[in-house]
Amino acid sequence: MKYKSADIIRECHICQSATHLANTFPTKGKINEIDIEKEPDVEKYDNIIEENSDDESSIFSEYSKDIENTNATFDNMEAYSHLPQVSNCQFDLSKFQVEQLMKTKKNRGKGYTAGNSCIKEVVIENKPTKHLLNPGDFCSCVGKFFVETCVPNFEDQLLPIDGIKFNSASNPMKEFGIFETTVIFPHINGNLRITVEFFVMETCSSTHFILGNDYLIMYGMDLHNKKDINFTI
């Protein structure tokens, strides 16, 4: 069956209306048209970024200041904790470390017996002599009166003292000379023999030779068993 042209109704393919065609559509559609967004104001955008960066930098600067102040506070607290003469009792005293005994605890009233004696019997000039190991003295010394009882002719071996002065809080210290002698430390694992220069003091009233930390450090000697110690007295 054939249709006549008069029987075909033409419609708009946009709105399917028979009153008009697509080429006469009242509101023309956007065909192959690309919408381009307007570019934002560059200067305004830069100003916003600068304001935000200023705010962030100020926040970070304040935060860094707080960190520095906190570190300084902890540094001061740590420094004061190592200085017993300026100790602070305002810390929290409810927390304690668990104590651990390294040896058997002494009876009550006998705690002083747990310490090690710094007095050692040594041999000087083939004679047993008392010797004080004093890590607090920067040099070794002996009183003139005591050395005379041990070595009567010690003045024949004296070396001159040059460029050094001694001071003591208890009594004035007057130098007499340097006495060089050999000291033997008896030990169960082998005796130790060293040559020591003692500063002889006229006003020293001690009744023993004093070995200072000069030779204790030089020969690696100590009263206790410690790491890297060559000789334990």
As given in the structure block, the two tokens for residue 110 are 């006998």
Task: Say if residue 212's pLDDT is above 80.
Answer: yes
List, for residues 135-193, the tens digit of each pLDDT value. 777 788 888 888 988 888 888 888 888 777 777 666 667 888 899 998 888 877 778 88
pLDDT value for 225? 46
| Mean pLDDT, residues 124-137 taken together | 83
In terms of pLDDT, which residue wins out, 128 or 115?
128
| Mean pLDDT, residues 119-131 taken together | 86
| Mean pLDDT, residues 38-45 taken together | 53
Task: Say if residue 203's pLDDT is above 60.
Answer: yes
| Mean pLDDT, residues 194-205 taken together | 86
The chain-wide mean pLDDT, for the chain, equals 70
Q: Which of 12-16, 73-77, 216-220, 225-229 has the lowest mean pLDDT?
A: 225-229
List, for residues 48-61, the tens digit of each pLDDT value. 555 555 555 555 56
pLDDT value for 78? 53
List, for residues 71-104, the tens digit of each pLDDT value. 555 555 555 555 555 555 565 666 666 666 666 6
